[in-house]
Structures are given as structure tokens and as C-alpha cells.
């Protein structure tokens, strides 16, 4: 049975036009916007994360934008809980709400939820972190391969970039060590129920156009003061929130490892790579209806209204 609440979710690569579409939809349906961009949460990171402009923020009510500090620990699980509570509140006012963002993991958290994992003792987490700092990423990779070979082979085949993500790898290993069970044994144990029906809109463009838009956005960020913003954040460069495209490259420039010109080109290149990963993620997402980024917003609205009016 279809829920009578509808969450319209807009996904797609960076710089594709998700913000503009979300505002148009929020105005049309007289509703609010949940942002699930995992870096726009942080109030210290405005320019480099392409936070919506003042005019855009005033055009519709937004939630989860610049509501946290880089010094706070904030996980995808925290976001899932807070976003669902906010949606429960918003659905009392309007049975249609909007969610927008390019962080696939955070989108999935709200739409589908995650598997339950036991609490892990902080001492185990600290021990794994210390081993990683001494022995590097290979330690984590080898440890996961030893403790959960099935899951190691699965992500090697389906999502190999995860093997290069220290935070994710530490999590896998800590669950294995802390529970004395394979990480994969906790997956797919239950179905998370949601009190809404999802309508997922994916924006896309041909690769050349997508790259051109990304390059223009980076140039605009530099003009708006990204270098100065990154300079102010530089003393805290080791914080997890700052391990982000647009900042890492400028930190290398401040460390005199590169020139500014090279750093800017690296930001463009790494943003293009990030966009490709976003596309890969959302291609795996089920039930996404894809539109070219230049599609008239009226046509997208007409599609959504048709979906909402379909019989239960």
C-alpha cells in the first residue's frame, strides 16, 4: 500500500542544477527542503561546498545546511535520525516534501536506512586508528580480508574505491573485531519502514557539458574567495570534515607542495572524478527517473503530479 506522504528526492552529480530544481519544486508544492549534502552541513565550509546563495535560501525553507561545526562528530546515522524526525514534523504541515543532494550514502540513509550494528567499545576503535596511523591503509585492507573475506571480495568487485576510504575501512574492521563476527553478517537483516513514498528524480547531462559546468563552478568559487576560506581552515586541515575536494588541494598549496594554478586544476580534476563516482552510485539506485538537466521544470512537475495522483 502506498503511503500518503511523498518525499521527492533530487539526485545527480555536482553542479548539475539540483538546487534550482529543488527550489522550483518547493515553491510549486509549497513545501520545504531537506539538504543531504554531507559537506554543506558545516558552517565553516561555505564557498567550497557550494552552499546555496542567500537568495536561494530565502526562496524556500532549507534544513541541514550549515547547521553543524567541523569540530563536531556527525555521522550518516546521526543525519538519518535527525532527518527522519524533521520529515515527521514537516509531513504534519504538507504531505509533500523535497530532499536534495549529491551524497549518495546520505540519500540512501533517509530513503532506506541501514542495518543495525552493535555498539563497539571506544578502546577497539582507538586501537584500530593507531594501527592505521602506523601501518597505513594496507593494514585495514589486509585485516578486513582476513576477518571477512566474503565482504572484502564483494566490495573489491562492486565498489573498489571503498577500499581506499580509511573511515569506511576502519568501521568494517572495528565491527569485525568488536563483535568477533564478520561485518557482512549484520547486513540485510531487516527492512526499514518509512512513512512516505519516494519519488526520485535524477538530473543528468552528457559528460562534456557536465565537466564544463564543474570547471565554471570552480572558477567562480575562486573568484568568491575559496582560497581565503581554505586558508582560515588550514590550521584544522586534519579534521575529517576537511578531507574534501576543494580544500585538500589548497592545503597542499599552503604547504608549498604545489602552485596555486596547479591546485585549482587539481580541484577541477578531482571534482570531475567525484561527479563520475556520483553518477555510478545513482545508476545503482533503484527507481530513479532521469531527466536531462535542461528539461523544462514544468515537465518535471507534471511528471511528479502524475505519480502522486496514481491510484494506491
Q: Which residues are annotated as a binding site for substrate?
A: 14-19
Annotated binding residues for ATP, as ranges?
Answer: 12-19
The answer to whether 103 touches 37, Cβ cutoff 8 Å, is yes
| Closest alpha carbon to 99 in 79, 83, 75 | 83
Question: How far is 221 from 229, CA to CA, in rounded Å?
Answer: 10
Question: How far is 116 from 183, CA to CA, in rounded Å?
Answer: 11
Angle at 156 between CA 150 and CA 159, to 5 degrees: 115
Annotated binding residues, as ranges?
Answer: 12-19
**What Cα–Cα distance (Å) separates residue 143 from each residue in 69, 137, 138, 240?**
32, 10, 8, 22
* Residue 95 burial (10 A CB sphere; 0-12, 13-18, 19+): middle
The answer to whether 51 touches 89, Cβ cutoff 8 Å, is no
Sequence-separated (6 or more) residues with CB below 8 Å from residue 48:
39, 221, 226, 229, 230, 244, 246, 247
Amino acid at each position: 500500500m502506498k503511503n500518503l506522504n511523498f518525499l521527492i528526492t533530487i539526485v545527480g552529480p555536482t553542479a548539475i542544477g539540483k538546487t534550482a530544481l529543488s527550489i522550483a519544486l518547493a515553491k510549486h508544492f509549497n513545501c520545504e527542503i531537506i539538504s543531504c549534502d554531507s559537506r554543506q552541513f558545516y558552517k565553516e565550509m561555505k564557498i567550497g561546498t557550494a552552499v546555496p546563495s542567500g537568495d536561494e535560501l530565502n526562496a524556500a525553507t532549507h534544513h541541514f545546511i550549515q547547521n553543524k561545526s567541523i569540530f563536531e562528530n556527525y555521522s550518516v546515522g546521526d543525519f538519518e535520525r535527525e532527518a527522519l524526525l524533521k520529515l515527521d514534523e514537516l509531513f504534519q504541515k504538507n504531505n509533500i516534501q523535497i530532499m536534495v543532494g549529491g551524497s549518495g550514502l546520505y540519500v540512501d540513509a533517509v530513503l532506506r536506512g541501514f542495518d543495525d550494528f552493535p555498539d563497539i567499545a571506544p578502546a577497539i576503535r582507538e586501537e584500530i586508528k593507531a594501527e592505521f596511523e602506523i601501518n597505513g591503509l594496507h593494514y585495514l585492507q589486509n585485516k578486513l580480508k582476513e576477518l571477512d573475506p566474503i565482504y572484502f571480495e564483494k566490495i573489491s568487485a562492486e565498489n573498489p574505491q571503498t577500499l581506499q576510504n580509511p573511515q569506511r575501512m576502519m568501521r568494517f574492521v572495528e565491527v569485525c573485531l568488536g563483535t568477533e563476527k564478520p561485518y557482512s553478517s549484520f547486513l540485510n537483516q531487516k527492512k526499514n519502514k518509512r512513512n512516505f513514498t519516494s519519488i526520485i528524480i535524477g538530473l543528468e547531462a552528457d559528460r562534456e557539458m557536465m565537466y564544463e559546468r564543474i570547471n565554471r563552478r570552480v572558477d567562480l568559487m575562486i573568484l568568491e574567495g575559496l582560497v581565503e576560506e581554505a586558508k582560515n581552515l588550514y590550521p584544522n586541515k586534519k579534521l575529517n570534515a576537511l578531507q574534501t575536494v576543494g580544500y585538500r588541494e589548497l592545503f597542499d598549496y599552503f604547504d608549498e607542495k604545489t602552485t596555486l594554478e596547479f591546485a585549482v586544476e587539481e580541484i577541477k580534476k578531482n571534482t570531475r572524478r567525484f561527479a563520475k563516482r556520483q553518477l555510478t552510485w545513482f545508476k545503482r539506485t533503484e527507481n530513479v527517473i532521469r531527466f536531462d538537466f535542461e528539461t523544462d521544470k514544468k515537465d518535471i512537475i507534471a511528471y511528479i503530479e502524475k505519480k502522486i495522483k496514481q491510484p494506491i
